[in-house]
Homo-oligomer: A and B are copies of this chain.
Amino acid sequence: MVEHSEQHGRRPANDGPKAAARNRSALVTAAREVFAEHGLEAPLSAIARRAGVGQGVLYRHFPDRAAAVAAVLEENVRQIEQEAAGRDATFAGVLGVLTWHLADSAAFIGLLHAERVGSRSGIRAHVLGLSERVERALRRHLPAEHRLSDGDDLALAVAMVSAAVIGPTRAERELRALAAWRLLGVEVGPVRAFGD
């Protein structure tokens, strides 16, 4: 049992429940950055620290590492879908946003195709669902006669490009991603962050 009988020295400000939404958002941002910089095995405490919250808050929002990873992925996928839902969306455009995410943090999108995401199988299904959402978003705008329109090739191509995206700088990663798409015979539109 953990009986904290000593008084905590001067407790820092507690902004109350209003901070909840702000904290969650800060945590997702921090998680994205920390995972991008130090990999998916980075200490969770680093995320809490960077988000400027206590460890407990991290655990309240994300009961385990997988949940934190999933939250970042979820956001990425949502942005891709949103781009795809735009009135004048094109295959090249959606691919551009996807590529931006790849270059920003390839490890996450790479996860979409990972076989072993920890041991819990729950996350597995979740990731598969996200993967399908990305494919749907892309396929909706894929020219019918495209060489990737066949079967699982689109998913495979995304996985391949994801992995190709390594490099010390964002620019370098973006170049690689574009080169990878080109090798697959795909022309990508302007790469840009969602919302640009």
* A185 CB contacts on chain B under 8 angstroms: 185
Interface status of A152 (Cβ within 8 A of chain B): yes
Number of copies of this chain that the complex holds: 4
User: Nearest residue in B to A110 (C-beta to C-beta)?
Assistant: B163
Tell whether, in the assembled complex, residue A183 and residue B157 are in contact, meaning their CB atoms are under 8 Å apart.
yes
* A41 CB contacts on chain B under 8 angstroms: 1, 41
Tell whether, in the assembled complex, residue B160 and residue A164 are in contact, meaning their CB atoms are under 8 Å apart.
yes
* A179 CB contacts on chain B under 8 angstroms: 152-153, 156
* A176 CB contacts on chain B under 8 angstroms: 156
A142-166 vs B, CB cutoff 8 Å, 1 = contact: the mask equals: 0000011000110011011111101
Interface status of A7 (Cβ within 8 A of chain B): no
For the complex formed, measure the closest distance between the CB of A68 and the CB atoms of chain B, giving whole angstroms.
13
Tell whether, in the assembled complex, residue A153 and residue B183 are in contact, meaning their CB atoms are under 8 Å apart.
yes
Interface status of A115 (Cβ within 8 A of chain B): yes
Interface status of A167 (Cβ within 8 A of chain B): yes
Q: By CB atoms of chain B within 10 A, which of A116, A163, A184 has the most?
A: A163
* Residues of A bordering B, CB below 8 Å: 1, 3, 5, 39, 41, 65, 110, 113-116, 118-119, 147-148, 152-153, 156-157, 159-164, 166-168, 176, 179-180, 183-185
What are the 10 closest A-B residue pairs judged by CB atoms, nearest first?
A163-B163, A160-B160, A115-B166, A1-B41, A160-B164, A159-B164, A115-B167, A156-B164, A115-B168, A160-B180
Beyond A115-B167, A159-B163, list 18 extra A-B contacts (CB 8 Å).
A3-B65, A3-B118, A3-B119, A39-B116, A41-B41, A110-B163, A147-B183, A148-B183, A152-B179, A153-B183, A156-B183, A160-B161, A160-B164, A160-B180, A160-B183, A163-B163, A163-B164, A184-B184
